């Protein structure tokens, strides 16, 4: 891949915002006059790059609740560099609060972002991202407009501290859930954990989906170096915001658009980094969706090809022991990227105008216990395994670094739950016919089935087996799993049960074979029997006949395509055909 470095234009380029603010007619009067009610002097409207600051602040998105303060630092940076900052809100998805799942709204946020950018007089955009879905949603929406764009993540919370031990957000939730089931913890213990887990501003500080996606922003070249790991409350996060504000003004002057950064090479780099950090399986669907907006051909097979031999270098929960604060002090993502030097596309361009390699080649590892050298990795397999077979003709995924090694080759009897309500009703029933070597199957929790593709794939084991000391079982579903979770969990099985995928045809008592090394997921039922079951299968009733959920269910794509709405794939560009008056 060759790409020229961006150069300052010799001729000042006409700014997009000039068609709003730079005219001498009635429309310009309208555009400027009402804006002036905020106290903007007239000279701000003349020849200065207008920078949209896309803010996902919300008190019901607690991971992004500190964004108002960070936005002020971005604005200061924009002003310092001679730009005109204008902050605007978009819908925000709070992972721990929204029902039925924040993922149901990722594409709605992306639509909001896309249209908000296109409809307004922006020359460049800063994307403020944090909680899980806010990152892919903003990247997707902005990619469909393709202005000069830079991402800034809100940063992780400080390490959780509980009774003298570090605890990881999300990961502790799963551990507490199991301890409550076995009686080791009381409700009072649980309330104490809650307070100790979330003790500062920021997003989950495990290598969950938020930290993974912040690492994707950095490895894609869409964020400045160190974006992924600086804690939310560390003053260096504010400095980074200020630098982002300054840099986006330069990017507008260089016309350095998103499509020059988010190339196939950049996406491949991000996939490799995901393996090396033991990143979340959720990155699979998000990167597929982002690629779709840019017209870059990316498939599940790319994930397997690039991740298959990628060792996990980062010893962070849920796969390991440490947390994002430790990761930052150890040197953060630049150290990981430096370790991957022989694999990555070194020339991939980043938002600061330098290549990914130039940014990271001199990174220093200050703690090899947290970031292990590639010659002696923390875990041999970090990438995402893509499984195929008659149970998942379009693929399913599993995270080997979070799985139990001896279960990665396993044949067992299926115990089937037809949906989440059935699971909740029966999983802890002492009379449930289930053994430790069975395979638990959960149907109808995919993109259309739930609806919204929730993180229920790592559902808790039956209480009676937990009490006997069973810590993991093979679980298969068409759902996702939290990036903070762990277990031998097969996810994103496609096509999903609700559209008649083979997962819908599994019955309790069937035999299923999982062989991760061979990338196999096989339902040992004859084709004739499956055809007979299919003939009797009935599609579930629609969830609703109106509103966003209807639009979503009618048009959402399957997991192997990134779960974007079919009509949102691709780009509409930054042009607006008609004035408003």
Smallest separation, CB 325 to ligand FES (Å): 15
- Cβ closest to ligand FES, residue 388 vs residue 399: 399
- Cβ closest to ligand FES, residue 176 vs residue 505: 176
| Contact call for residue 123 and ligand FES (CB under 6 A) | no
| Contact call for residue 204 and ligand FES (CB under 6 A) | yes
Smallest separation, CB 169 to ligand FES (Å): 6
Query: What is the DSSP secondary-structure string of 443-467?
Result: -S-STTTTTS--S-TTPPPPHHHHH
Q: Report the run of H or E that residue 535 belongs to, with start and end.
A: helix 527-536
- Cβ closest to ligand FES, residue 63 vs residue 371: 63
| Contact call for residue 63 and ligand FES (CB under 6 A) | yes
Rounded Cα distance, 518 and 263, in Å:
30
- Cβ closest to ligand FES, residue 95 vs residue 564: 95
Residue in 90, 104, 109, 131 binding ligand FES, rule: CB under 6 A: 131
Q: Which stretch binds ligand FES (CB under 6 A): 110-118, 204-212, 313-321, 428-436?
A: 204-212
| Contact call for residue 200 and ligand FES (CB under 6 A) | no
| Contact call for residue 559 and ligand FES (CB under 6 A) | no
Rounded Cα distance, 62 and 94, in Å:
7
Looking only at residues 499 through 538 of this chain, which bind ligand FES when binding is defined by CB under 6 A? none
Local structure of 491: helix, strand or coil: strand
Smallest separation, CB 121 to ligand FES (Å): 32
Q: Which stretch binds ligand FES (CB under 6 A): 16-24, 203-211, 238-246, 311-319?
A: 203-211
Q: Within 10 Å of residue 4's Cβ, how many Cβ atoms?
A: 7
Query: What is the DSSP secondary-structure string of 357-395?
Result: HHHHTT---S-TTTB--TTS-SBS--SPEEEEETTEEEE
Rounded Cα distance, 491 and 478, in Å:
6
| Contact call for residue 208 and ligand FES (CB under 6 A) | yes
| Contact call for residue 318 and ligand FES (CB under 6 A) | no
| Contact call for residue 210 and ligand FES (CB under 6 A) | yes
- Cβ closest to ligand FES, residue 313 vs residue 485: 485
The CA distances from residue 257 to 112, 138, 234, 276, in Å, are: 20, 15, 30, 28
Q: Which residue intervals of 99-233 are DSSP H helices? A: 106-119, 134-143, 171-182, 187-197, 209-219
Looking only at residues 156 through 195 of this chain, which bind ligand FES when binding is defined by CB under 6 A? 170
Residue 274 near residue 312, CB atoms below 8 Å: no
Smallest separation, CB 569 to ligand FES (Å): 26
Q: Report the run of H or E that residue 294 belongs to, with start and end.
A: helix 282-294
Which residues bind to ligand FES, rule: CB under 6 A?
A: 63, 95-96, 131-132, 170, 203-204, 208, 210
């Amino acid at each position: 891949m060759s790409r020229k470095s961006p150069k300052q234009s010799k001729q000042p380029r006409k700014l997009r915002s000039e068609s709003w603010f730079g005219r001498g007619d009635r429309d310009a009067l309208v555009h400027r006059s009402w804006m002036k009610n905020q106290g903007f002097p007239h000279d701000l409207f003349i020849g200065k790059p207008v920078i949209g600051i896309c803010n996902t602040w919300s008190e019901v998105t607690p991971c992004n609740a500190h964004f108002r303060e960070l936005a002020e630092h971005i604005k200061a940076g924009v002003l310092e560099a001679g730009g005109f900052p204008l902050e605007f809100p978009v819908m925000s998805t709070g992972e721990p609060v929204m029902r039925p799942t924040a993922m149901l709204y990722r594409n709605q946020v992306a639509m909001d972002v896309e249209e908000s950018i296109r409809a307004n007089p922006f020359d460049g955009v800063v994307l403020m991202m944090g909680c899980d879905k806010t990152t892919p949603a903003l990247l997707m929406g902005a990619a469909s407009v393709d202005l000069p764009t830079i991402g800034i993540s809100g940063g992780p919370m400080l390490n959780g501290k509980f009774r003298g031990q570090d605890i990881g957000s999300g990961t502790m939730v799963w551990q507490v859930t199991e301890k409550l089931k076995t009686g080791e913890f009381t409700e009072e213990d649980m309330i104490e954990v809650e307070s100790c887990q979330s003790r500062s501003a920021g997003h989950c500080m495990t290598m969950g989906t938020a930290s993974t996606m912040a690492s994707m922003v950095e490895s894609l070249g869409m964020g400045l170096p160190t974006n992924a790991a600086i804690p939310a409350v560390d003053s260096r996060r504010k400095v980074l915001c200020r630098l982002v504000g300054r840099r986006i003004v330069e990017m507008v002057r260089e016309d350095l658009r998103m499509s020059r950064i988010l190339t196939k090479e950049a996406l491949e780099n991000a996939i490799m980094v995901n393996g090396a950090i033991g990143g979340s399986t959720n990155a699979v669907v998000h990167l597929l969706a982002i690629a779709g907006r840019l017209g870059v051909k990316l498939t599940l097979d790319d994930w397997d090809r690039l991740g298959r031999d990628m060792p996990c270098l980062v010893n962070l929960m849920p796969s390991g022991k440490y947390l994002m604060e430790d990761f930052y002090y150890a040197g953060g993502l630049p150290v990981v990227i430096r370790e991957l030097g022989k694999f990555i596309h070194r020339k991939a361009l980043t938002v600061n105008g330098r290549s990914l390699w130039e940014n990271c080649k001199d990174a220093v590892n200050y703690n090899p216990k947290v970031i292990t050298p590639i010659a002696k990795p923390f875990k041999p397999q970090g990438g995402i395994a893509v499984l195929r077979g008659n149970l998942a003709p379009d693929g399913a995924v599993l995270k080997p670094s979070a799985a139990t090694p001896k279960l990665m080759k396993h044949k067992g009897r299926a115990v089937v739950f037809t949906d989440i309500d059935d699971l909740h009703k029966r999983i802890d029933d002492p009379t449930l016919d289930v053994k430790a070597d069975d395979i638990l199957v959960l149907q109808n929790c995919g993109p259309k089935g739930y609806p919204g593709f929730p993180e229920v794939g790592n559902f808790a084991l039956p209480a009676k087996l937990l009490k006997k000391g069973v810590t993991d079982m093979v679980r298969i579903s068409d759902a996702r799993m939290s990036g903070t979770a762990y277990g031998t969990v097969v996810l994103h099985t496609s096509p999903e049960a609700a559209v008649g995928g083979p997962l819908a045809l599994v019955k309790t008592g069937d035999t299923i074979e999982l062989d991760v090394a061979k990338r196999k997921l096989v339902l040992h039922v004859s084709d004739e029997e499956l055809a007979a079951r299919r003939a009797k299968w009935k599609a579930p009733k629609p969830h609703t006949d109106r509103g966003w959920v209807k639009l979503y269910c009618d048009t959402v794509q399957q997991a192997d395509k990134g779960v974007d709405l079919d009509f949102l794939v691709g780009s509409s560009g930054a042009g607006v055909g008609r004035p408003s008056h």
